[in-house]
Amino acid sequence: MGCASSIHISDRVVYHSGKESEDSHSPQQTNTTQHQGNPASGLPLKPLSSKTTLTEVQFGPMKLFKDPLQVLLVFAKEDSQSNGFCWACEKANFRCSMARTPESALECFLEKHHDLVIIDHRHSRHFDAEALCRSMRAVTSSENTVIVAVVKRPDREEASVMPLINAGFNRRYVENANMMACYNELLQLEHGEVRAQFKLRAGNAIFTALEQSQEAIEITSEDQVIQYVNPAYESIMGYQQGELIGKEIIEVPKSEKNKPDLLETINSCIRKGKEWQGIYYAKKKNGDSIQQNVKITPVIGQGGKIRHYVSINRPLNDNNKSDRSSERVQAESQTDIQSSKHKDRRKGSLDVRSTTSRGSDGSSQRRHSSMARIHSMTIEAPITKVINIINAAQESSPMPVAEALDRVLEILRTTELYSPQLGTKDEDPHTNDLVGGLMTDGLRRLSGNEYIFSTKHPHHIPSHLTTPLSLNDIPPRIAQTMENEDSWDFDIFNLEAATMKRPLTYLGLKIFSRFGVCEFLNCPEATLRSWLQVIEANYHSSNSYHNSTHAADVLHATAYFLCKERVKQSLDPIDEVAALIAATVHDVDHPGRTNSFLCNAGSELAILYNDTAVLESHHAALAFQITTRDDKCNIFKNIERNEYRTLRQAIIDMVLATEMTKHFEHVNKFVNSINKPLAALEENGGNGDEESVKSILTSPENRILVKRMLIKCADISNPCRHQELCIEWAGRISEEYFAQTDEEKRQGLPVVMPVFDRNTCSIPKSQISFIDYFITDMFDAWDAFADLPNLMQHLDNNFKYWKGLDDRRLHSLRPPPE
Between the alpha carbon of residue 16 and those of residues 33, 88, 810, the distances in Å are 11, 12, 54
The domain in which residue 235 lies consists of 213-315
Name the domain boundary from 315, 332, 359.
315
pLDDT digits (tens, 9 = 90+) for 47-83: 444 444 566 656 556 665 667 888 999 999 999 999 9
423 in Cβ contact with 283 (< 8 Å)? yes
CATH of the domain at 186: 3.40.50.2300
pLDDT at 803: 96
pLDDT at 66: 64
CATH of the domain at 790: 1.10.1300.10
**Residue 122 falls inside a structural domain:** yes
| 161: region left, alpha or beta (phi > 0 left; psi from -120 to 50 alpha) | alpha
SS (H, E, C) 693-731: HHHHHHCHHHHHHHHHHHHHHHHCCHHHCCHHHHHHHHH
**Residue 35 falls inside a structural domain:** no
Closest by Cα among 225, 121, 127 to 168: 121
Rounded to whole angstroms, the Cα distance separating 623 from 607 reads: 19
Is the domain of 248 the same as that of 187?
Answer: no
Rounded to whole angstroms, the Cα distance separating 583 from 567 reads: 16
Would the annotation count 575 as a binding residue? no
CATH of the domain at 257: 3.30.450.20
Between the alpha carbon of residue 399 and those of residues 395, 409, 539, the distances in Å are 10, 15, 58
Would the annotation count 546 as a binding residue? yes
Q: How many domains does the chain have?
A: 4
pLDDT band at 468 (very low <50, low <70, confident <90, very high): very low
Is the domain of 559 the same as that of 649?
Answer: yes
Is the domain of 173 the same as that of 89?
Answer: yes
Residue 206 reports pLDDT greater than 90: no
Exposed / middle / buried, residue 697 (Cβ in 10 Å: 0-12, 13-18, 19+): buried
Rounded to whole angstroms, the Cα distance separating 311 from 292 reads: 11
pLDDT digits (tens, 9 = 90+) for 705-717: 999 999 999 999 9
pLDDT band at 768 (very low <50, low <70, confident <90, very high): very high
What mean pLDDT, rounded, does the chain reach? 80
| H or E segment to which residue 164 belongs | helix 162-167
**Residue 388 falls inside a structural domain:** yes
| 247: region left, alpha or beta (phi > 0 left; psi from -120 to 50 alpha) | beta
| H or E segment to which residue 229 belongs | strand 226-229
pLDDT at 495: 97
Is the domain of 551 the same as that of 529?
Answer: yes
Closest by Cα among 692, 612, 686, 688 to 656: 612
Is the domain of 283 the same as that of 252?
Answer: yes
Q: What is the sign of the dihedral through the CA atoms of 679, 683, 688 and 692?
A: negative
**Residue 148 falls inside a structural domain:** yes
Exposed / middle / buried, residue 65 (Cβ in 10 Å: 0-12, 13-18, 19+): exposed
Exposed / middle / buried, residue 760 (Cβ in 10 Å: 0-12, 13-18, 19+): exposed
Catalytic residues: 546
Closest by Cα among 304, 227, 228, 314 to 273: 304
Is the domain of 559 the same as that of 540?
Answer: yes
Q: What pTM was computed for the model? A: 0.53
Query: Per mean pLDDT, which range of 294-303, 504-513, 776-785, 795-804 is the poorest?
Result: 294-303
Would the annotation count 140 as a binding residue? no
CB atoms within 10 A of CB 609: 20
Would the annotation count 549 as a binding residue? yes
Is the domain of 185 the same as that of 245?
Answer: no
Is the domain of 83 the same as that of 104?
Answer: yes
Residue 335 reports pLDDT greater than 70: no
Query: Per mean pLDDT, which range of 125-129, 187-191, 302-306, 445-449 is the poorest?
Result: 445-449
Would the annotation count 53 as a binding residue? no
Is the domain of 220 the same as that of 198?
Answer: no
Rounded to whole angstroms, the Cα distance separating 640 from 650 reads: 15
Between the alpha carbon of residue 462 and those of residues 456, 512, 585, 637, the distances in Å are 15, 22, 17, 21
Mean pLDDT over 551-577 rounds to 97
Tell how strand 289-300 and strand 276-283 pair up.
antiparallel
Residue 189 CB contacts under 8 Å (≥ 6 apart), including other chains: 116, 146, 148
DSSP calls for 333-397: HHHHH--TTSTT---SS-----SS--S-HHHHHHHHHHHHHHHT-TT--HHHHHHHHHHHHHHTS
Rounded to whole angstroms, the Cα distance separating 195 from 303 reads: 20
Say which DSSP state 471 is in: G
Residue 156 CB contacts under 8 Å (≥ 6 apart), including other chains: none
DSSP calls for 353-366: --SS--S-HHHHHH
pLDDT at 375: 52
Rounded to whole angstroms, the Cα distance separating 554 from 548 reads: 10
Rounded to whole angstroms, the Cα distance separating 754 from 449 reads: 19
**Residue 466 falls inside a structural domain:** no
**Residue 405 falls inside a structural domain:** yes
Say which DSSP state 674 is in: I
| Radius of gyration for the chain, computed over Cα atoms and rounded to the nearest angstrom | 35
Is the domain of 751 the same as that of 614?
Answer: yes
**Residue 422 falls inside a structural domain:** no
pLDDT at 23: 37
Rounded to whole angstroms, the Cα distance separating 363 from 353 reads: 9
Is the domain of 178 the same as that of 61?
Answer: yes
Rounded to whole angstroms, the Cα distance separating 116 from 108 reads: 13
**Residue 554 falls inside a structural domain:** yes
- Residue that wins the pLDDT comparison between 273 and 467: 273
Residue 439 reports pLDDT greater than 70: no
Would the annotation count 258 as a binding residue? no
Give percent above pLDDT 70 in the chain: 76
pLDDT digits (tens, 9 = 90+) for 225-257: 998 999 989 888 888 888 888 888 888 888 888
pLDDT at 573: 96
Would the annotation count 663 as a binding residue? no
